[in-house]
Amino acid sequence: MATDDSKGFALSKQLAATTLLGYGIFGAVQVLYRLIWGWRASSRMKGLLKDTPATKGPGHDEPAGWLKDLIANRDRIHDWRCEICQGQPVSKNLGFSWHPGMTMVILNDAEGVRHILKDEFNKYTKSELRYDPFFFYVEDFLGDGIFVVKHGVGSEDRGQEWGNMRKVSAQIFSRKNFSSLMNEVFIEKAEVLRRFLQRSRDEKKQVDLQSSFFNFTLDSIMRIFFGEESNTAVGVPNVYGKAFDTAQANMRNHAVESIAPYLLFSTFLPWPFGGQHGGLARWLWDRLSRKHRTMKSACRVLDREANRLVKKCRDDPQLPERRDLLALFIQAGFSADFVKQMVLHLIIAGRDTTACLLSWTFYELTRNQDIQSRLHEEIMQKLPGTKLDMKSLSASEMPYLNGVIYEALRLWPPVPFDVKMAFEDDVLPGGWKVPAFTQVGYCPYNMGRDPKRYPEPEAFRPERWIPFTAPSPHEFPVFQAGPRICLGMDMALFEAKIATVELLRHCRFEMVQGQNVTYGDKITLDIKSNGKEEFLVHVRDW
């Protein structure tokens, strides 16, 4: 019996050793194949991009040489991009020599932007996850929805799903809704915000104006998009808004920290520990990250709240008469899971971008008291107590107000940088080659500060936009351009103008001294002051 046990143990050891050897050979071959494939793909990209100038900076002409510079300038990344791309309509950042995923072409001119967003729209879409570690975590956060779904040759259905989403979404932005639902909600919520700020003025309290604007836009969008009453502007907490902020901030920070590990796991570890999307090693990395755990915890809150909103809408006997966007998606026959994920996208679209625009607008007005006074004069002369609507707030009726808003958009675009991916080889205007699976970024922040387009670009001058000629969306891609141009552009401008007029009719604003104001680290361009996401002001009488 002992002899049989010994033989069995020896056979088990031999089998284990053979299995480990076999797995080792399998793993080595797999990793070697990936390295050869990655090297060939990277070499091909490098060859096609040989005539494209590298961005300006130490080591930027070497594969991944720009990464160290990027990390050092992480807190001022948009100004850093201005510096490294200055004077170059097209620049490149080469990725690692063993992985093609980090190679990027950066556009800084209108012709290039028009090319990728309109003329060759079907070749450029959202990133492929295996090439873009950051986008992997964006999709992990947002799921499926209008901001991440692909179109054109990069999508399995050639963009049919995206097209259907856009058609349904477009229904909320009808002229009828602008003149009724949106007008009514924006005015009501702006008056609530104004009364809150007046109480702070009477009590001589400092106010975090940025937080107030995020509350205002959230309250507005909850009604317009979801048919849900929200009153965060007067201190009633909104579970969804708080969880969304927590999830977004932690997602971005974790994604940035995970780029290098993601690429290493996906390249140098065999399946199932590595491979596509980083395998088990990436899964374990995420589980050990406090930021990722916090993001997932917040996402569970978002999921629960979204389920509640969807169920409430589905069970509403008045569903056929409802005008909100959630009701439109449900009536269009989209699945409950899809509609639930769309809620996240609609919050980004309707809350964050307009709140950022308003925050930077009032930042500039507090820095430039003469401009604030002149805008107040225009408001009191033309709209002292008039009911606000699209016509009364138009550029022809309120040229200085329109100039202030557009100047804030020029200097502080809510989405300062955007990226597409080429899914076929292409050639940009000017003859610059773009290999397939290259990331192609464009920079509204850079383009708005180009001295060739805007003399004295750092100066806040609303007169630039008087008389007003609507800028080409490719010269001024603040709202994207082409078929994916922002559906909510007119709504955002309308909402920002209503809030600005309502507040400046009654209040004057002064910046609290001692604030070191810069931008934060979110996907959207919010204000960061002394390390906190806030913008403190004193509210005064005129």
Per-residue pLDDT at 452:
92
Per-residue pLDDT at 146:
79
pTM: 0.92
What domains can you pick out in the chain, each with its CATH number?
49-540 (1.10.630.10)
* Amino acid code (one letter) for 5: D
Taking the C-alpha atoms of residue 4 and residue 195, their distance in angstroms, rounded to an integer, is 88
Taking the C-alpha atoms of residue 30 and residue 268, their distance in angstroms, rounded to an integer, is 9
**Does pLDDT of 178 surpass 70?**
no
> Could you read off the pLDDT of 443-456 as tens digits, one per residue?
999 999 999 999 99
Taking the C-alpha atoms of residue 137 and residue 375, their distance in angstroms, rounded to an integer, is 42
The encoded tokens of residue 434 equal 């773009």
Helix (H) or strand (E) holding 540: strand 536-540
Taking the C-alpha atoms of residue 81 and residue 417, their distance in angstroms, rounded to an integer, is 10
- Which of these ranges, 195-204, 305-314, 423-432, has the smallest mean pLDDT? 305-314
Rg value, the chain, Cα: 26
Is 486 annotated as belonging to a binding site? yes
- Which of these ranges, 9-13, 157-161, 369-373, 478-482, has the smallest mean pLDDT? 9-13
The 3-state secondary structure of 501-513, one letter per residue: HHHHHHCEEEECC
Taking the C-alpha atoms of residue 211 and residue 428, their distance in angstroms, rounded to an integer, is 41
Per-residue pLDDT at 8:
67
**Does pLDDT of 515 surpass 90?**
yes
Counts for the chain of helices (H) and strands (E), in that order: 19, 12
Q: C-alpha angle 276/281/284, rounded to 5°?
A: 125
Per-residue pLDDT at 175:
63
Taking the C-alpha atoms of residue 533 and residue 291, their distance in angstroms, rounded to an integer, is 18
270: preceding bond cis by omega (within 30 degrees): no
> Could you read off the pLDDT of 198-221 as tens digits, one per residue?
999 999 999 999 999 999 999 999
- Whole-angstrom CA distances from 363 to 4, 282, 367, 534 are 83, 41, 6, 11
272: preceding bond cis by omega (within 30 degrees): yes
**Does pLDDT of 11 surpass 80?**
no
* Amino acid code (one letter) for 54: A
> 520: how many CB neighbours lie within 10 A of its CB?
20
Contacting residues for 371 by C-beta, under 8 A, at least 6 apart: 364, 365, 404, 460, 462
Residue 275: alpha-carbon gap to chain centroid: 28
Q: Which phi and psi angles does 64 have, rounded to 5°?
A: 60, 15
Q: Which phi and psi angles does 191 have, rounded to 5°?
A: -65, -40
Q: Which phi and psi angles does 297 have, rounded to 5°?
A: -65, -45
Query: First-to-last CA distance in the chain?
Result: 100
